[in-house]
């Protein structure tokens, strides 16, 4: 796996992944950025959310759960001194579906956290990671 990051200007960068997808990374105006894209540490949190989301959905599908939506809210605290690594991360999963079994959602979250999510495994060396979840019954009327 590879990525390429090229300087655009100021503190803005164009990142391109092996998959061919790219995005702009930028800093805040306080450090000379123009707010053109997410910050690097925001991308790490988004990567964690995306990694665990893919795991949870895949596990629930294998358990034949009828999932219609999944949202993961990720919040983090950082060290006060450099390097300002994440020290605490909280993930909250809101999983919506039809007749979802709460135990199945719990199992999927735990399997992702303890076995499958590579991003989580890397971040656990510096941060405590907490997981919470809510199961929501799908509103069939919302589709009309």
Where in the chain are the domains?
Answer: 1-38, 40-143
pLDDT score at 143: 54
Residue 144 has pLDDT above 70, yes or no: no
93, 133 Cβ separation under 8 angstroms: yes
Radius of gyration over alpha carbons of the chain, in Å?
A: 18
8-21 tens-digit pLDDT: 999 999 999 999 99
User: Is the dihedral angle over the CA atoms 89, 72, 119, 113 positive or is it negative?
Assistant: positive
> Looking at the predicted structure, is the pLDDT value of residue 38 above 90?
yes
Q: Which residues pair with 15 in a beta bridge?
A: 5, 23
- Residue 77: predicted pLDDT: 98
Confidence label for 140 from pLDDT (cuts 50, 70 and 90): confident
Residues 7 and 13: beta-carbon distance below 8 Å = yes
Has residue 142 got a pLDDT over 70? no
Strand, coil or helix: 90: strand
For residues 48 and 32, what is the distance between their CA atoms, to the nearest angstrom?
27
* Identical fold, 1-38 and 40-143: no
Cis amide linkage into residue 60, ω under 30° from 0:
no
- pLDDT tens for 67-96 read 999 999 999 999 999 999 999 999 999 999
The predicted pLDDT at position 63 comes to 97
Q: Considering only the top CATH level, what class is 40-143? A: alpha beta
Q: What fold is seen in the domain 1-38?
A: N-terminal domain of TfIIb (2.20.25)
Q: Across the chain, what does the average pLDDT equal? A: 96
């Amino acid at each position: 796996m590879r990525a390429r990051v090229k300087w655009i200007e100021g503190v803005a960068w164009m990142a391109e992944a092996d998959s061919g997808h790219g995005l702009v990374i930028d800093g805040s105006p306080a450090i000379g950025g123009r707010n053109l894209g997410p910050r690097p540490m925001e991308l790490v949190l988004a990567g964690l959310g995306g990694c665990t989301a893919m795991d949870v959905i895949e596990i629930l599908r294998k358990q034949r759960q009828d999932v219609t939506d999944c949202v993961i809210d990720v919040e983090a605290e950082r060290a006060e001194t450099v390097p300002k690594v994440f020290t605490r991360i909280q993930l909250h999963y809101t999983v919506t579906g039809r007749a979802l079994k709460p135990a199945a959602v719990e199992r999927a979250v735990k399997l992702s956290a303890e076995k499958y999510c590579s991003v989580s495994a890397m971040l656990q060396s510096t941060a405590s990671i907490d997981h919470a979840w809510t199961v929501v019954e799908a509103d069939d009327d919302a589709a009309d």
